[in-house]
Structure 1
Amino acid sequence: MMTAEFWVAVAFVVFMAIVWKVGGFGAMTKGLDGRAKRVRHELDEARRLREEAAAVLADYKRRQTEAEREAEAIVASAREEAERIAAEGHKRLDDFIARRTKAAETKIAQAEVQAAAQVRAAAAEAAVKVSETILRERMQGDAAQNLVRSSLGEVRNRLAR
């Protein structure tokens, strides 16, 4: 009975009785409860922060997706606008070329008409001069001169048409 283990057990029981009498168990449980409350509060706070972070991440991903869609829309719109402007430029160029071609063809036609008129006028003038020379050589007198003048005037008028 007088062994060391026995006295250790007695001392432990006495110590526990004193702790219980003084209210040490209540203080320990109160401390442990306070710590548990603090840990529970910290866990709740961590859960709330994690949920906020998840919400912020989801919002960021949503905004990123919207920004990507908007960027794609802007690029598509710019591409369509560039294609429209290019088509409009080609149309304007084609219209310009068509107008220039038509103007050139009109000028060519006018030049042909003018050249033909000049050739006819030159031919008429040459024919009149030849006729006048032939008639003067063959016919003599005032009557011949009047006939030559009236005939030449009539030839000029007919050839000039």
Structure 2
Amino acid sequence: MRHILIAVLALSATPALAAGDVFFSLANTDFVVTLGFLLFIAILLYFKVPGKVTEMLDSRAVGIQSDLDEARALREEAQTLLASYERKQKEVQEQADRIVANARQEAERSAEAAKAEIASNIDRRLAGAEEQLAAARAAAIRDVRDQAIMVAVAASKDVIAKNMDAKRTNALIDESIDTVKAKMH
């Protein structure tokens, strides 16, 4: 009640009172507006609107605070998850690096083994080629000898046939027969 009295006294000190006119008259619009305003304030106070507004603001503040707390908790959880995922990503990256390194080492080993196998195959093929070459060389030498023998026999036959007469041929045949008889006994 005391607040109302102070409000009425504060509002009554208007320029209309200072001018000397009668302020407390229903013909004075300032007075009517002041009365309406005070009546409005009184109704608001009677229905405890400021308390309800305060309650609504407090409940809203509590709701906002709980939302902020929940947001902080979610943020902390998200940071924890992020750290966990970063740690897992780092572990997976390290594992991938190890796998790549192992694959490189295995590839190098396989390349070395392939090189060794290729060198072995080349050596075997060279040895086989050398054997074939030696066999071909021996066959060629044999063929040349056989041809040379045949040519020599043919040439000898021609030379002997030209240089031999019947008397000399009969003497050689008799001599050969005697040599065979002597060797047989």
| TM-score when normalising by structure 1 | 0.56
Measured after TM superposition, the shift of residue 120 of structure 1 is 5.5
| TM-score when normalising by structure 2 | 0.51
The percentage of aligned residue pairs carrying the same residue is: 34
Other-structure match for 1:7 = 9
Separation in structure 2 between the aligned mates of residue 33 and residue 116 of structure 1, nearest angstrom: 120
Task: Identify which range, 107-116 or 46-55, moves more after superposition.
Answer: 107-116
Q: Given the alignment of the two structures, is residue 51 of structure 1 paired with residue 86 of structure 2, yes or no? A: no
Other-structure match for 1:144 = 175
After superposition, what is the alpha-carbon deviation per residue over 1:59-89, rounded to whole angstroms, capped at 9, x for unaligned? 3312322332233234323323432332232
Separation in structure 1 between the aligned mates of residue 129 and residue 149 of structure 2, nearest angstrom: 30
Structure 1: tracts of 5 or more residues without a match:
10-14, 151-161
Measured after TM superposition, the shift of residue 53 of structure 1 is 1.6
Measured after TM superposition, the shift of residue 144 of structure 1 is 1.6
After superposition, what is the alpha-carbon deviation per residue over 1:129-148, rounded to whole angstroms, capped at 9, x for unaligned? 75994xx9577154323368
Rg: which structure is higher? 2
Matches for 1:41-120 after TM superposition, within 5 Å: 41-118=66-143
Seen in structure 2, the aligned counterparts of structure 1 residues 70 and 122 have a Cα distance that, compared at 3 Å, is same
RMSD: 4.4
Measured after TM superposition, the shift of residue 98 of structure 1 is 0.6
Structure 2: tracts of 5 or more residues without a match:
1-5, 12-40, 181-185
Seen in structure 2, the aligned counterparts of structure 1 residues 102 and 141 have a Cα distance that, compared at 3 Å, is closer
How many residues are paired up?
Answer: 139
Measured after TM superposition, the shift of residue 116 of structure 1 is 4.5
Seen in structure 2, the aligned counterparts of structure 1 residues 32 and 147 have a Cα distance that, compared at 3 Å, is farther
What amino acid is the match of 2:174?
Answer: A
After superposition, what is the alpha-carbon deviation per residue over 1:91-113, rounded to whole angstroms, capped at 9, x for unaligned? 22212211111012112322343
